[in-house]
Amino acid sequence: MPRAFSELTFTPAVLAHQERQGSARAYAKFIEGGPVQGHQVGPAEKAFIEARDGFYQSTVSETGWPYVQYRGGTIGFLKVLDPQTIGYADFTGNKQYISRGNLDGNDRIALILMDYANQRRLKVLGRVEFTEGAAAAADLYPEGGEAPAERAVIIRVEALDWNCPANITPRFTEAELRPHLNALGQQLAQLQAENEQLKQQLAQRP
């Protein structure tokens, strides 16, 4: 676990629970021996982020309740702008604006990016800035997008962590399955053709 992530998440209350449950020493050694910073997007993180077609994001309301939302789009709609900045074009949704309103009062955001097929996940903590208007989001506009964007969402990364893959159930999108389904379809077509030939040969026997 990178030190930047633990410094933001290992609060006094968390540390107290770790002490009571006997994991404090193990985590202390792990963090001391881990990456010093962990607040920059490196090549591995960039490739992972830009290969996603969706992510979960959490904001906190003025009532103190977290609000988790799924944001989806075409692959690559979440872009890495530099080693400490990611962003995306924000399109019109159901117009509840819960996440948008929450971020006016508290600019902190947490993202979880999932790769179910390969049992990988990346956690990102950051602060959000908005630039309103479709023109502002032009550089973030995803390829193949049809609707106009309402704003640009810019996330300044403060910490990130590759989370444990345990208990991630493998799931596959249609795009991930398509090459395998196509191969199976070709094999099935070949077997059906061979079966038809055998039927015709048997029918021709006296």
Strands, E, within the chain: which ranges? 54-60, 66-72, 79-82, 85-91, 108-115, 120-132, 149-162
Q: In sequence order, what are the residues at sequence separation of 6 or more whose Cβ sits closer than 8 angstroms to the Cβ of residue 41? A: 49, 80, 82, 83, 84, 86, 157, 160
Tokens of 24: 């404090």
Whole-number Å distance between alpha carbons of 116 and 107? 28
pLDDT tens digit at each of 206 positions of the chain: 788 888 889 989 999 999 999 999 888 876 776 666 678 999 999 999 999 999 999 999 999 999 999 998 889 899 999 999 999 998 877 889 999 999 999 999 999 999 999 999 999 999 999 988 878 788 887 776 667 788 889 999 999 999 888 889 999 988 888 999 999 999 999 999 999 888 888 888 87
39-162 maps to CATH 3.40.50.720: no
Tell me the DSSP string of 83-99: TTEEEEEEEP-SS--HH
Whole-number Å distance between alpha carbons of 162 and 106? 25
Radius of gyration, CA atoms only, the chain: 24
| pTM: predicted TM-score of the whole model, two decimal places | 0.83
Angle at 158 between CA 161 and CA 130, to 5 degrees: 120
